[in-house]
Structure 1
Amino acid sequence: MKKLHLVLAFLLCSSALVSSQNFSAKVKDSESGKFLNDVTVTAVSSGKIQITDTNGNFSFDGISFPLKLKFSFIGYRSTTAIFDASEEGTIIELQRDVDVLSEVVLRSSNIPQKLLKESAAVSVLSAEDFNRVDDFNLVQNLNYVPGVFVSQGALNTNKIDIRGIGARAQYSTNRIKSYINGIPLTTAEGELTLDDFDNSYLDRIEIYKGPVSSIFGAGLGGAINLYTQRNRPDQRSVQTNFSYGSFNTRKTGVNVNYVEDSLDIAINYNKLDSDGYRDNGAYNRNSFVVTAGLLNKKGNRWDLFYNYTNLKAFIPSSLNEDDLLNSPTKAAFTWGRAEGYESYDKNILGLAYTHNFSENWKNQTSIFMNSRDGYEPRPFDILDEDRNSIGLRTNFNHETAIVGMPAKVSFGAEGMLEFYEVTTYQNLYEDFENRGSVQGNSLSNNEQDRDYINFFGQIQLELTSKLTADLGINLNTTSYDLQDNFNQNTEDQSGDYSFDAVVSPRLGLSYEAFKGKHFYASASHGFSAPTVAQTLTPEGSINTDLQTETAWNYEIGFKANWFKNRLYTEVNAYSIQIRDLLVARRIDQDRYVGVNAGKSDHYGLEFTSAYLQPLSNDASIKFLLNANLTDYTFDKFVDLGENYSGNEIPGVPEYMLTPAVEFSYKDFSANINYQMFGEMALDDSNSGSTDAYELLNFRLDYSTQITSYLEAGANFGINNITDELYASSIVTNAVGFGGSAPRYYYPGMPRNYYAGLNLKLSL
């Protein structure tokens, strides 16, 4: 009996030793690779807490597996993960929370720089920022950025302006440069469409506000830079998600990630369908994205990006004031009868190579190709277009010393060739009842070849330990060739045209007055060249007198961290003077000509703040407040005998204010945000304006680690809780035809709901 007791005691001790073990690991920054000290590591089941040392180490004694740990550190995203005994010694990577940590390094500048030290107004949106509203429309997230306004007509009808530049564009975004992983998205003509991109594969958006042509070239309003997610070491996973919202809106997506040794691959497919809030508003989009990276033994890297988009989206168009107030769901009469829509197949391909010549010399060179095959039946005609472009960008970086001062030097070039073919046809929808659009005879046939090249250079000098200077310059040349293949009229639009070379300098200063508190000032030049369509006169000939639109931006600002990085604040004031102002004069239903109408002045004040307060090991609360005040007017603007000098520039809200509160507790998080926008003038004469409006939005998220291999999440939200009736976009200077009232307004979405589920399997 005594021997039996000894055996039982031995078995119990052995069992305890098996179930009660030790576990140690390390924590580091996912971007810099630096090991992090003072990270709070909590064992969820027992509540035991460990703090990482200066080398990022932590360990637990007397624990059982599987082990669920939560990692918390101010300025970083809280992370929960499940480990088994075989993962002893693993390295956990924490990602920076760009809402509260201004130390994040900007990727889009030619010379990498911390946000806090950048002598420019730059806003950064993280993946978590996309969770304020639904995930059906990426660009709506930009409406939380001070100085940026997105006019939202439909899922496929979005117009972005930055500091009022681009507000007078009719139906699309122009005067803004944009890149994804360094690949240009803006066409050679300056047109931009971001509606195609999805937040499911994006990690960050960086927005430079105001004329910064010394860095990005022809972008009078600024630059929007998109970056896809970066895979972590040894990550192999499959993630699926499904979302459903009001108006039968459905989104399905799949993400596949594979990382092994020096190779990383990510594949994303998503499909978005909606019946639409308004008549003739159905939407269908299929998107496929591949990113890949390969690091060789010498530390040099190849990166690949490919995106394919197939879209068919019907167009309800704009409404007059009576329909906005009484029948906001209806489509414009002619667009409804013609069943007007746009459809296209788009491809974006880029290949980049980063080579380290030495510790102080580096070069990144990328080649890129874009194509778009589009077809758009409108009531007044049918547009058939084919656009193809190819380009190259190269950038050298060198760290050195100039006159004994530490310096960083960047120089390079970007060039693009674009080939555009466009044909218009008669739309015979009125001759065929209930058949929608029917293609008739051709009305025009043009070929446009356009090219540009930018040469750029930038020097960053550390004048003292606290004062840094940035000097930049860009030289741009732009030209095009227009070939008129439609010879049924006497006017032949064929011809060559080159714009004068434009030199865009920039000077910026950043001064650290106190630790973590920086003042900055800058002066920068920007420009936008006219589109081919704008260079044509009403008679169809080329207007060789049209000038490139230019501007100077003067800015002062203050960026600061407070309370050990829990609070970040930024305030800036700017003044932009635009000369040779390009305006679109309407001469027919879909015909505009460009006019250099004079000058405009843009004055504004922007404010950004984010405060994170931990409440306990499991809970935290975050407060955000973004705002801007604007004063955008025509300084000198006389057109067709009408004097608009002193009037407000139409299409821009007088103010924006967006307070928000985010609360997280264990696996739950909630966000409630309030958006307030001021009045917008409808036209250059300021004959009327929209009403100011306010939107209240709410979202609840839940995520949990079910096993060490399986994660699950769910979300639910309500947009426009108060069911506000408002105009989310306007057509500036709309004209009524045939005695009808002008159709200025796109109705905003009423109260709407959405919910989503996702599963992630790690292999």
Structure 2
Amino acid sequence: MKYYFLLFILFANCFFGLSQEKEKDTITYLNEVIIYNPIRANKTLGITQSTIIRENAFQNHSPIDLASSINQISGVYLLSGALNTNRITIRGVGARTPFGTDKLRLYFMDIPVTNGSGFSTIEAFDLENLNSMEVIKGPKGTAYGTNLGGAILLKPKEQYAKGTFFTNNFTVGSYGLIKDNLSIAHNTDSLEFNLSYNHLNTDGYRENNNFNRNGILLTTAIKLSSRNSIGILANYIDYTAQIPSSLGITAFTENPRQAAFTWKQAKGFESNKYTLLGLSYSYKISSRLENTTSLFYSYLDHYEPRPFNILDEFTNSYGFRSLFKGNFRFEDREASYLFGGELYKDEYNWRTFENLYEENNGNGSLQGNELSRNKEYRRQFNAFASLTLPLSNKFNMQLGVNVNKTHYDYRDLFNSGEDNKSAKRSFDPIVMPSLDLIYSISPGRQLYANISRGFSNPGLEETLTPEGVINPEITQEKGMNYELGTKMYLAKNKLWLNLAVFRMNINDLLVSQRIGEDQFVGKNAGSTKHQGIELDMNYTFDLSPKLQIIPFASYTLSDHIFVDFVDGDNDYSGNPLTGVPRNRINLGLRLNHSKNFYWNTTYQYVDGIPLTDANSLYSEPYNLLNTRLGYNKEISENLYISSDFGINNIFDVNYAQSVLINAVGFGGAEPRYYYPGNDRNFYISLGLKYHL
């Protein structure tokens, strides 16, 4: 770890030298290219080191390319097997999860949308409906669950200008891509109304890879008076996605477009209907204290025929979140605080059935006899508070704490008598403190240090023994995060730089072991050390009053290892953590001409990923180059048009956009480690905006 701190000191010295330049008293923040990190942002929410990417940063990539948009951020890596198969890891946390995203909290408009077992489905939200995505790396955000991976906060688009606006963006592209996003926005002094409809259909790059989604999003804010307002949220998504699944090395090399044999034979797919409803009330109690309380409900209906069985499930979720924010005078300076609580409850029902696809004359999946029927009640409660004290004009201290209580109640509705496996598991309350120290060198330049504690709950499969009974020995992962960083504007505010070095020690590591084609169990198997360097930066060159060039870059060094990990007769202690590339680089160049034309070109390098705990197999490193051009034009006082054209994977690289670690081959088949990424592909968009 010594060389990380030496590097940090070296950079800090450089910044101190540069900070001697004469500056204005105020700062003009740069346009957001990749990230936007205003120094004073989000202090009232207890976050001092978050990363925000905004709407125009999403324009670097295709409107369906969620992975590339997120992977612009250092320390954050989204592995995408398909549009409906995504796994987000933050600083290596969650990399060992076989499928999906866990060990972080996902919020939409400050409403938790991570389910009761800790899984998040970011693909349920349309990228074109988002105004920004804020990422909290590690357990620093005491108001957002303090999970070891951190939290992701999604904010929908808002219409700031007064009036009524109709907007439509239509996209076509390779693999039969058709996407349309239609929205209506109305904004007055007392009402903000946003309604959007989105449709997406694509055949996909691979066999058995069609994706069809329709969605409606409604957000409304009603100002009742100068002191109180009401917000309404309704989000509905209906999508069906075929599943080509992963490939072995032979199939991946010879024909990456093919689907896994059994998934193709079964015509495997998943169908989801997801509804999210929210109602929030904000009240300004006094000039120094306000409260926002939200009630929410969600429903997910999921049906998924797989070669080994058919899964039929539905989940009802509900809860509330209440947040008090205030400020007070502290030694002639302004101090702030917050406190609140969040209750999330869900009822998860699932059944499995035989899949008789082999007896269905080549017509795909056919539901047979019931194999299991289960229900689980899950409950999480988070209480949180933070206090920000200005100890001097340049030095702030922030203290935070989160307390979590988790309970699982598992019901076996299929078996009776001695074969019944119903059981309950209630985890002890866990306290997660956080300390931030922030020093402002000068306006727009700060150094910070953070020490925080976090945790991760075991998922559903991880709580069960191989016999399907709740394991009373399984416990939560717990870890301590240590971080130093700097956020600075330099060179007359043209250069934005964000540098962090960190180390996180995680104990009681949760390890999922595959014991069957569709059966995983978990155990606490040791400890890991996550450490690394994260760098994000961009620079603005004003070549003329109308021409601007902005190079941007991010770099991630992930030096994550197993400290103590013994699995049976195998000792993996000292090995690099499975599922995480050591080096990742994202580079880009954006050219803006006036307000009408832009051209983005982005480059991504991903290092080889260890695919087995023994580190006996790595994925191949890869390089990707994408480009996108856009043009905007005001046709009349009220009508605007825009067009975009993009090319992904310009050099037609065969690469794995996602991997499955510790894959096991069944029946003598090759282990299937690889999810192929798309080959060279194109898209073109046409947008219209009309202002009444």
Bin the TM-score by the shorter chain: over 0.9
SS in 2 for 1:325: helix
Deviation digits for residues 449-480 of structure 1 (CA, Å, limit 9, x no counterpart): 01011111100000000000010001111001
One-letter code of the match for 1:520? Y
1:568 to 480, 496, 502: 496
Cα distance in structure 2, aligned partners of 1:532 and 1:99: 36
Quote the offset at 1:515 in angstroms: 3.4
Q: Select between 289-298 and 487-496 the one with higher mean Cα deviation.
A: 487-496
Q: Select between 484-493 and 712-721 the one with higher mean Cα deviation.
A: 484-493
One-letter code of the match for 1:219? N
Structure 2 matches for 1:220-619, cutoff 5 A?
220-402=148-330, 406-487=334-415, 490-619=418-547
- CA RMSD in angstroms comes to 1.7
Contact 2:37 2:52 in 1 (8 A): no
Contact 1:714 1:755 in 2 (8 A): yes
1:754 to 678, 683, 686: 683
The aligned counterpart of 2:97 is 169
One-letter code of the match for 1:103? P
SS in 2 for 1:128: helix
SS in 2 for 1:144: coil
List 4+ stretches of structure 1 deviating above 6 A: none
- Which runs of 5 or more residues in structure 1 are unaligned? 1-53, 55-72, 78-96
SS in 1 for 2:278: strand
Deviation digits for residues 279-312 of structure 1 (CA, Å, limit 9, x no counterpart): 0001100011000011122232211111100010
One-letter code of the match for 1:734? A
SS in 2 for 1:172: coil
Structure 1 residues 494 and 213: CA distance shift in structure 2, 3 A: farther
Cα distance in structure 1, aligned partners of 2:688 and 2:40: 31
Cα distance in structure 2, aligned partners of 1:414 and 1:602: 29
Q: Does 1:738 align with 2:672?
A: no
Quote the offset at 1:564 in angstroms: 2.9
The aligned counterpart of 1:63 is none
Quote the offset at 1:110 in angstroms: 5.0
One-letter code of the match for 1:688? L
Contact 1:149 1:160 in 2 (8 A): yes
Quote the offset at 1:75 in angstroms: 3.4
2:622 to 677, 693, 712: 693
- Which runs of 5 or more residues in structure 2 are unaligned? 1-24
Structure 2 matches for 1:614-633, cutoff 5 A?
614-633=542-561
Quote the offset at 1:727 in angstroms: 0.9
Cα distance in structure 2, aligned partners of 1:402 and 1:590: 58
Structure 1 residues 436 and 158: CA distance shift in structure 2, 3 A: same
Structure 1 residues 147 and 341: CA distance shift in structure 2, 3 A: same
The aligned counterpart of 2:609 is 680
SS in 2 for 1:174: coil
One-letter code of the match for 2:327? E
The aligned counterpart of 1:711 is 640
SS in 2 for 1:371: strand
The aligned counterpart of 2:38 is 103
One-letter code of the match for 1:733? N
Quote the offset at 1:695 in angstroms: 0.3
The aligned counterpart of 2:29 is 75
Deviation digits for residues 250-275 of structure 1 (CA, Å, limit 9, x no counterpart): 10121111123301101000100011
Contact 2:141 2:151 in 1 (8 A): no
Q: Identity across aligned pairs (percent)?
A: 38
Q: Please tell me whether Structure 1 or Structure 2 has the larger radius of gyration of its CA atoms.
A: 1
Contact 1:484 1:494 in 2 (8 A): yes
Quote the offset at 1:517 in angstroms: 1.6
Deviation digits for residues 69-125 of structure 1 (CA, Å, limit 9, x no counterpart): xxxx96365xxxxxxxxxxxxxxxxxxx47576437545x65377xxxx2x3x2111
Cα distance in structure 1, aligned partners of 2:358 and 2:585: 46
The aligned counterpart of 1:13 is none
Contact 2:525 2:566 in 1 (8 A): yes
TM-score, length basis structure 1:
0.85
SS in 2 for 1:141: helix
Deviation digits for residues 367-397 of structure 1 (CA, Å, limit 9, x no counterpart): 1111100100000000000101111010111
Q: Select between 610-619 and 621-630 the one with higher mean Cα deviation.
A: 610-619
The aligned counterpart of 1:204 is 132
Deviation digits for residues 428-463 of structure 1 (CA, Å, limit 9, x no counterpart): 001112110000011110010010111111000000
TM-score, length basis structure 2:
0.94
Cα distance in structure 1, aligned partners of 2:141 and 2:167: 39
Deviation digits for residues 326-362 of structure 1 (CA, Å, limit 9, x no counterpart): 1100000000000000001000111111110111011
SS in 2 for 1:337: helix
One-letter code of the match for 1:694? N
Contact 1:106 1:112 in 2 (8 A): no
Cα distance in structure 2, aligned partners of 1:726 and 1:601: 28
Structure 1 residues 98 and 470: CA distance shift in structure 2, 3 A: farther
Structure 1 residues 213 and 444: CA distance shift in structure 2, 3 A: farther
Quote the offset at 1:638 in angstroms: 0.7
The aligned counterpart of 1:702 is 631
